[in-house]
Amino acid sequence: MDFSTDRPTFFINPDYRPMTGAAKPVIDPATLETVGAIAAAADGEIDAVLTAAAKAQAGWKKLDAKSRARHLHAVANAIEAADFTRCAELMVREMGKPYPEAIGEIANCAPIFRYYAEMARDEAGKIAGTTQAGSFQYARYEPYGTSVHIMPYNFPILLMCWTVAASLAAGNACVIKPAEATTLSTLDYIKVFRSLPQGLVSCLPGGAATAQALITSERTHAVAFTGSVAAGKAVAVACAERMKPCIIEAGGSDPLIISQHAPLDVAAAGSVTAAFHLTGQVCTSAERFFVVDAVHDRFVELFAEKTRALRIGNGLDKTEIGPLVSEAARAKVMRLVDDAVRSGAKAVTGGRIPPAHNVGWFYEPTILTGVTSDMAIVREECFGPVAAICRVENFDEAIGLANDSPFGLGASVFTTDLAEAHEAAERLEAGMVWVNNPLIDNDALPFGGWKASGLGRELGRQGLDAFRRSKMVIIDHKPAIQDWWYPYPDSWFREAGGRKHV
C-alpha cells in the first residue's frame, strides 16, 4: 500500500479497510513535509473491530497449546522473511528515528513470538500438593478475551510485539491502537499477522478518544499501555472503575551513577547511548547523572568529547541524533534546559537548536553541569537529548539522590567495585538496574517500573500472566461424604449453661 496517496485505513486481519473519518496529515519532524494521512476510528469501525475480535477469540481460546504455538512461530517466520525497508522508512519519516534503529527494531521482533509460543506451552498451570486424600487440586490459566494495546511512538513495533505476543500466547484476541505519530509504519508492519485466524489481530488508528472507547468498552477485557505518567494514571483509573486488569509502563527520569571506581572510557561511551539514544526519547533514557566528585571533571571531559562527535540530521542520512517527534516535545526540552541554566547550571555541550538544522524539531545533545536536585529538569521527565549532571561526594549520596524521585523505571551504574554493584542492585528503587551496560532487556526477564513509572510487567513469565487469569480446580475422583459437611456431629459441640455452642 502507498500510504502517501491512499485514503486512511484500519486493519482487521487479514484486510485493510478504508476509514470514514476526516483525514489528518502526518508531518515529517525533520523536514515538516507531509508523509501521508491518518484518521480517527468512527464508532462503526470500533464496533467492527470488536465484533471480529470476539468471534476470532472464541475459536482461538479453544486451540491446544501446540497449535497456538505453531501459529505464533508462523508469525515469527513472516517477520524473518519480510522486507521491512518501506516500513522502516515510514517510521523515520513519521517520528525521526535514525534508519538503523528503525530497521533494527522492526526486523528483530521474531524472538518474542518464539519465546511466548514455547512459554505458553510449558506454563499451562500448576498441580499443588493436595490438602485432602483422594483429591486432585490444581490451577489452570485462561485468557481474558480481547486485549487492548495502546502504543507509544518511540518503539511502536517492538513494544507492540512484546505485549501482543504474550496476549496471543495466552489465548486472547488483540486490538492495537498505535500512536498517532507512528500509525503508518504500524499499519505497514501489521501484515506479519496475516497467517493468524481472521479478525484475531486488528489495528485501529485514532487518538485519546479512540483509546478511551476501547478501554471503557464492555467487549474488551485487559489493557496494555505505554506512555506518559499522566495518561498512564488516567488509563489505570478507567480500568480500575471497571475492574479491568492493565499493564502500565509510564516512563521515568532514570538515574545514572558514575562511581569513583567506574571505568571512565566505558562509562563515557555508555552514557552517550544511555542519554542520547533516539534523541533521548526512550522511557529508560538516563536523564539524571550523579557523578562522584573524585572522577567528576574527567568523566565530564570524556563524556562531552564523545557527545560532540554525534551527527545531527535527518534519520534517513548518516546520523545518530534525529529530530524530536514534535514541536511540543522540543519546547518542553528547551523549557527545562533554559530553566536549569537560569538557576545556575552550565551547558557544556548543546543547549540550543543546531544552526544548521533550523527546519524541523532538532535540538543539540546537551550536557548540563552544576545541576542541583531541586531543579525542574531533575524533578520532571525531560524526554529529550539532555544529560543533567549532579556532582556528589560519594556513592552513598549518589544512591540517595537517585532514589529521591517520583519515578522508578530503570537505573544505571558504572563501577568495577563488586560490592558497589551489588549494593546498587539492592538499594536502587527501580524496576530494572543496569551495571556497566545500560538499556539492555531480556525476553525472559520482567520489564517495568516502580512508583509512578508503572503497574505490572511486560516480558518473562509475568508478561504472560498479565494476559491470563487463574482458576483453582478441585476434583475428587472418588466422591465421599466429608466429615466437615453439615450437619456437625454432636461431638463438635460443648455444653455451657445448658446451651450448646460450636
Active site (catalytic) residues: 249, 283
Closest among 74, 109, 71 to 88, alpha carbons compared: 109
Identify the three-state secondary structure at position 335: helix
**137 CB burial (10 A radius; 0-12, 13-18, 19+):** middle
What are the angstrom distances between the C-alpha of 477 and each of 133, 350, 384, 395? 10, 73, 62, 61
What are the angstrom distances between the C-alpha of 255 and each of 101, 184, 343? 23, 33, 21
Are 224 and 167 in contact by the 8 Å Cβ rule? The answer is yes
289's enclosing H/E stretch is: strand 286-292
Q: Residue 151 contacts by C-beta under 8 Å, 6 or more apart in sequence?
A: 159, 160, 176, 177, 178, 179, 182, 186, 226
Please report where in the chains the cell 464492555 appears, as a residue: 218
User: How many C-beta neighbours within 10 Å does residue 42 have?
Assistant: 15
Instruction: State the alpha helices, DSSP H only, in 82-137.
Output: 85-95, 99-107, 110-122
Query: Backbone dihedral region of 126: left (phi > 0), alpha (psi from -120 to 50 degrees) or beta?
Result: beta
For residue 343 the three cell numbers come to 538557576
The whole-angstrom distance between residue 437's C-alpha and the CA centroid of its chain comes to: 19
What are the angstrom distances between the C-alpha of 6 and each of 17, 45, 151, 478? 11, 18, 23, 66
Rounded CA gap, 406 and 402, in Å?
A: 10
The whole-angstrom distance between residue 375's C-alpha and the CA centroid of its chain comes to: 27
Are 173 and 57 in contact by the 8 Å Cβ rule? The answer is yes
Rounded CA gap, 427 and 257, in Å?
A: 13
For residue 449 the three cell numbers come to 517500573
Are 18 and 160 in contact by the 8 Å Cβ rule? The answer is no
Length of the chain counted residue by residue:
502
Rounded CA gap, 217 and 327, in Å?
A: 33
